[in-house]
Amino acid sequence: MRSIHYPAEALAAVEEFRPDVVLLDLNFTIETSGRGGMKLLRELLAAHPELPVIQMTGWATVQLAVEGMKAGARDFIAKPWDNHELLNAIQAQLNKGGGAAGASRSQKEADPFDSITGTSQGLKQVVEQARRVAPTQASVLITGESGTGKELIAEAIHAASKRARGPFVAVNLGGVPEGLFESELFGHKAGAFTDARADRKGRFELAEGGTLFLDEVGDLAPAAQVKLLRVLQERQYERLGESKPRPTDVRILSATSRNLDAMVAAGTFREDLLYRINLIHLHLPALRERPEDIAPLAEHFLASARRRYERPKLNLTNEAVAWLRRQPFPGNVRQLQNLIERTAILSTEDTLSVEQLERQSGDRPAATNFAPSGVTLEQMEIRMIRAALGRNGGEITATARELGLTRAALYRRVEKYGIET
């Protein structure tokens, strides 16, 4: 690890050492607006758009975090930081393969679908369908609630495909502002617009010869839908600031937590675009619909915690497993993983009990009717986020943990719904 103390050194150091992850302090001077760090962030990502950057600042605000995430940062850590949290954030970026250390993450697996844990019939059917479609070039739409593992399925499809040696590039379209859509997806030439100081590769170019995963495709604005449809139809695109079309050879995998058929009926999603991305449809059931998967998933996450935190004797009581099976887990698999890891970290005992799990879940009783009649999923999500923010005093990290979300995912929802913090 190398420490850089002056912004002017950063670009040269990245060129020389090609780091797998960059920790970027947003404040370099007495002035604590974070603008110096934001400027450097944009310069780093303009030169290296694939570089995982984790922002750090002691003057954290949701607005600054959202701005950094829009610019391309992968995560956000507030100072003073928790060492476990910081190390987990770094490990998460290494696991995603953004840098050199993770470049061959799922290609090394004999069967990529072995990484998907669960024994329920519903999950087995999805995995079997995904296994059959993986060797083809078919576009796949993966639907399901947030936290059900849509990206994990997409990565397994890519790793089992004929494009496995090519890149797997993911982009969360829900986090891309409409005005930056073309630059993000298709790239731009220097001078194409005011802040375009250098050429930038878009996600299509980065994914050339591999797979492009369009997460939250249902969040695309109508104008962006038209632009994406044209590229999928013509198999070519133009960088902003260029007039020469570039051919593209990528496989498209998409995912959404929205009901695209209902959106088509309502006129908010293009039917022709849905046909393009939906040759094969895979639907991941919510965790509450497959409670038999909770025990093996909990053991899987516990095994990971044993290795990560060097606590080989960690185990769950039978009562704790039964308690987990009764929980609704609105955050799905991600929420379960978060609860197991948090309890493993904070428990001083090797045997994790119901009481310890309840304590880390906020002592909230398991609700059976958590979706009142007449309330949409989006309205429920807004209510849950506001309630969790209230319980945690507006603290983003604690709220994200409670909801079973990453901080980046929570930032996107806060901005999307206009929730005040």
Q: Concatenate the DSSP letters of all residues of 74-97 into one string.
A: -EEEESSPPHHHHHHHHHHHHHHT
| Residue from 312, 308, 296, 288 nearest 404 by CA | 288
Higher pLDDT: 108 or 320? It is 320
| Domain CATH number, residue 76 | 3.40.50.2300
What pLDDT score does 101 carry? 35
Is residue 24 located within the same domain as residue 131? no
Residues 174 and 251 grouped into a single domain: yes
DSSP output for 327-343: ---TTHHHHHHHHHHHH
Question: What is the Cα–Cα distance from 285 to 417, expressed in whole angstroms?
Answer: 25
- With vertex at residue 291, the alpha carbon angle to CA 398 and CA 306, rounded to the nearest 5 degrees, is 55
What is the distance between the alpha carbons of residues 198 and 136, in angstroms, rounded to a whole number? 37
Range of the domain at 297: 288-417
Longest dimension (CA), the chain: 64
72 located within any domain: yes
- Report the percentage of the chain scoring pLDDT > 70: 83
Query: Is 329 found in the same domain as 292?
Result: yes
pLDDT digits (tens, 9 = 90+) for 16-42: 778 888 988 877 655 556 677 888 888
The region that residue 191 occupies, defined by phi over 0 for left and psi between -120 and 50 for alpha, beta otherwise, is left
**Percentages helix, strand, coil for the chain, rounded to the nearest 5?**
50, 10, 40
Q: How confident is the model at residue 6 (pLDDT cuts 50, 70, 90)?
A: low
- Classify 141 as helix, strand or coil: strand
pLDDT reported for residue 233: 94
DSSP state of 173: G
Number of domains in the chain: 3
Q: Are residues 48 and 165 in the same domain?
A: no
Residue 365 lies in a domain: yes
Confirm whether 202 is domain-assigned.
yes
- pLDDT band for position 82 (cuts 50, 70, 90): low
Same domain, 277 and 244: yes
Q: Which residues pair with 78 in a beta bridge?
A: 57
Looking at 285, 320, 335, which one is the last position of a domain? 285
Contact 240, 186 (CB under 8 A): yes
Q: Which of 115-129, 173-187, 195-209 has the highest mean pLDDT?
A: 115-129
pLDDT of residue 97: 54
79 vs 293, higher pLDDT: 293
Q: pLDDT tens digits, residue range 321-360?
A: 999 999 999 999 999 999 998 899 888 899 999 999 998 8
Same domain? 116 vs 239:
yes
Strand-pair partners of 53: 22
